[in-house]
Structure 1
Amino acid sequence: MKNYIIVLFVALLSSCKNENSNNRKTDLETNPKTLTADDIISKSIAVSGGKRFEKSSLKFEFRDVYYQALRKNHEFLLVRVLVNDKDSIFDMLSNVGFERYHNDAFVKLEDSIANVYSASVNSVHYFSVLPYGLNDEAVNKTLLGSEHIKNKDYHKIKVTFDESGGGEDHEDIFVYWVNKDTFKVDYLAYSYEEISGIGMRFREAYNERYVNGLRFVDYNNYKSETTAIPLENLGKAFEDNQLQLLSKIDLENIKVDLVNN
C-alpha cells in the first residue's frame, strides 16, 4: 500500500505543469486603514508560508492518526491512514475524487458515505494549514471591522463558501481574527450544521512553530453553553470568559519537504 501511495505521488508530480500564479500581490507597506479583507488574508497567508504551501509535502499525526498531504501548484493529494492491529485503512482525497483502501484492496463506497469520509479527511487537512486556502475561488471574505482581544488589536473577517466548489460543508461560516501587527490568525470561530441544529466553536491558537518555512499552530477548542451568542460575538465572549474549553487540537510529529517545480 505504501508503494501505491509513492507511485500515486510520483504520478501526481509528473502530471503537474508549472503555472503562473494569478494571485494579486499586496503591498506590505499599505496603510492598514485601507486594507480590504482580501488584502488582509493575502498578507496572513504570506507570513504563514505563502507559496511554499503550493509546493509542499507534509506529514503529521493528529489523535494517533497519520496524515500526509502533497500539494503542487493546483494539484493535491490528501491522505489519512488508520491502523488497527494488522489492518490499515487508507483514505485518499485528490483532484480526481475520494478513494478508500482496506490494506491493499479498493473499497467501493456509496456516494453518500464517500462524501462523509472525504469531508472528514479534508477538514483535518484544511485546519492544519490555515490560513492557506482562504484565497480559493469559492471563498467569500467580508471585513467586519476591528476587535480588541487580550490586549491586542485584530482585523475581523467573515468567510463563507459558494455551493459550487465549496465542498460538502459549504454552508459552514467562519470568522477569523487576524493580528493587526503580525497578520497571523490568532483566533477563529465557525458554525456548522448538526442533527440538533447549528453548532459553534471558537479556537485559540497556541504553540506556534515554523517547519521548513510553514507556520503551524495548535488550538484550544472552546464551545459556548448557549446558542444565543452570535458567531461574530464569540471573540467578545472569549474575552469575557464566557466560553468552555472543550478539547485541544494538537498536531504532532510534523515534517515538511518542499517539492521542486
Structure 2
Amino acid sequence: MSKTESAEDIIKESIEVAGGDLFDRSDINFDFRDMHYRAIRNHGRFQLERHFKDSLSEIKDVLSNSGFERLRDEEKVHLSDSLTSLYSNSVNSVHYFSVLPYGLDGKAVHKIYLGSKEIKGKDYHKIKITFSEDGGGEDFEDEFIYWIAKDSFSVDYLAYSFKELDGGMGFRFREAYNIRMSSGLRFADYNNYKPTTSDVNLENLDDLFIADKLQLLSKIELKNFEVNLLN
C-alpha cells in the first residue's frame, strides 16, 4: 500500500466513525460567536447559512450550489465581487470546520501520509492535506495537517497555514475537546493556538505544542446544537 493510499484509507475511516454518509442528508443548526448557523446537505445539494443582526436589520447569508447571496430583512443585497468572496469564504470556513473530517474525501483534496506522532502519550497518524486549484475553492493554497488517533480514528488535532493580509504566512494549531455525538454525527470544540515566533513551519507545530510553545489564541465553541437527519 502506498503512502497516498494509506492516507486515503485513514481519512475514509475517520469520516466513517464521525458519521460518514449521514452528513450527506443532514440539517444542522448551531450558534457560534453571537451568530446562528444552519447547514442543509441533501445528497449533493447544500445550503450553508449564517444569521445575525446588525444595528438596523436581520442579515441572512446563504452559500449554496447556486452561489452566494446576502439578504437584509429578506431583501437581496447587491454586493461587489470582493465582498461576495469575503462573505462566502467566512461562511464556508465556519461550516467547513464544524463537520471535520467530513469533506476531506473530495476530488480536489490531496493527502500525504507524514508518519506517526505521539502526542500526550497517544499515537497518531499524521496526514497532510492540500487542494487542487480547480475545485479547491478560493483558499486552495492553504495547507492542513490532521492528527488522527490510531486506536479510534478520531481527529484530535489539526493545523493549517493561511495567507495573512500583509502577504505573509499565518499558522494555527487546534486541539479538539468536548467531542460529542449528535444523531450519529461527531462534533468538537477546539482550543485554537498560534505560534509565538516566526521560525515555524506547518509540519513542526505539533512539536511546539508538545513543548508548550504555542499561545492559546481563542476557543472555538459551537453551542445550541440541533441535528435532524433527512430522508
The one-letter amino acid of 1:125's match is: H
Query: TM (normalized to structure 1)?
Result: 0.85
1:67 alignment partner in structure 2: 37
Flag structure 1 segments of 5+ consecutive residues without an equivalent.
1-30
Which of 126, 141, 161 aligns to 1:156? It is: 126
1:3 alignment partner in structure 2: none
Which of 176, 182, 189 aligns to 1:218? It is: 189
1:176 alignment partner in structure 2: 146
Structure 1 position 34, deviation (Å): 11
- Give distance in 2, aligned partners of 1:212 and 1:85: 36
Look up the SS of the partner of 1:170 in the other structure: coil
Structure 1 position 207, deviation (Å): 0.3
The one-letter amino acid of 2:184's match is: G
Percent identity over the alignment? 57
1:22 alignment partner in structure 2: none
- Give distance in 2, aligned partners of 1:35 and 1:245: 34
- Give distance in 2, aligned partners of 1:213 and 1:179: 19
Which of 30, 42, 57 aligns to 2:27? It is: 57
1:194 alignment partner in structure 2: 164
Check 1:237–1:100 CA distance in 2 against 1; reply closer, same or farther (3 A cut).
Answer: same
- Give distance in 1, aligned partners of 2:74 and 2:66: 20
Structure 1 position 104, deviation (Å): 1.8
- Give distance in 2, aligned partners of 1:104 and 1:219: 33
Contact 2:4–2:111 (8 Å) recurs in 1: no
Look up the SS of the partner of 1:183 in the other structure: coil
The one-letter amino acid of 1:40's match is: I
Structure 1 position 85, deviation (Å): 5.1
Which of 106, 110, 124 aligns to 1:136? It is: 106
Structure 1 residue runs of 4+, over 6 Å off? Answer: none
Query: TM (normalized to structure 2)?
Result: 0.96
The alignment of Structure 1 onto Structure 2 pairs a total of residues equal to 229
The structure having more radius of gyration, on CA atoms, is 1
- Give distance in 2, aligned partners of 1:126 and 1:135: 13
Look up the SS of the partner of 1:36 in the other structure: helix
Structure 1 position 107, deviation (Å): 0.5
CA-based RMSD of the aligned residues comes to 1.5
Contact 2:193–2:218 (8 Å) recurs in 1: yes
Contact 2:129–2:145 (8 Å) recurs in 1: yes
- Give distance in 2, aligned partners of 1:34 and 1:172: 19
- Give distance in 1, aligned partners of 2:23 and 2:13: 14
Structure 1 position 84, deviation (Å): 3.0
Corresponding position: 1:147 with 2:86: no
